[in-house]
Amino acid sequence: MAKEYRSNNKVADNKVAELRVQVDDIRSVMSDNVLKILERGERLQNLDSRADALHASSQEFQTTARRMQNKMWWDNMKWVLILGFMGLLILLFIYASIVY
Averaged pLDDT in 10-residue chunks for the chain of 100 residues: 60 87 96 97 97 98 98 98 98 93
The whole-model pTM stands at 0.56
Predicted confidence at residue 8, as pLDDT, reads 63
Q: What ranges in 1-100 are assigned the alpha helix state H?
A: 2-99
Predicted confidence at residue 6, as pLDDT, reads 59
Residue 27 has φ and ψ, to the nearest 5°, of -60, -40
What CA–CA distance (Å, rounded) separates 30 from 18?
18
